[in-house]
Structure 1
């Protein structure tokens, strides 16, 4: 299924950027997401904040359908983050006073 990932500052806010990804399941609040770009061995790391669902239904009471699934992901620091991602995490910490970090035990 196609899922939109919206990347936001820690604590939420305006979307910095988004990606559409094919996924076998929907990430849940607290899940870790690591994005690799091309052959880059390091990652962009995020923690799932919440999931937004969109539905379309008809007035006739028939079965509705899912129109959108958007997973809101907060920037997080991790040991294996790219330099650009670490700069973004630093910038958001300066703006919001919040810094999220991956638990390194998962690696």
Structure 2
């Protein structure tokens, strides 16, 4: 990733059966505070802490994890996820960069996503 700062994290929110219900990225501590009220019924799991991912890695992984679990509700009304929107549009000029960055960390990410409960 070169000079790209690693200032992002990736997290999921799980229901009482450990099913992933939300996928997010950003500053993990800030996002936990934001989701504490809106998704109080879900458990927060850090996949990568803030500073572990570049912006491109975080965007790409957020999209890839969402896709693995049904995608956002705007794209798939039958999804089990509470995410409404995609991490980025397929027409985004940086989409390939995001996907390539995610692919480099995908195997590691899949291991980290294994149910902790």
Give your verdict on TM over 0.5.
no
Select the structure that is richer in strand: 1
Larger CA Rg, structure 1 vs 2: 1
| TM-score between the two structures when normalised by the length of structure 1 | 0.26
| TM-score between the two structures when normalised by the length of structure 2 | 0.24
Select the structure that is richer in helix: 2
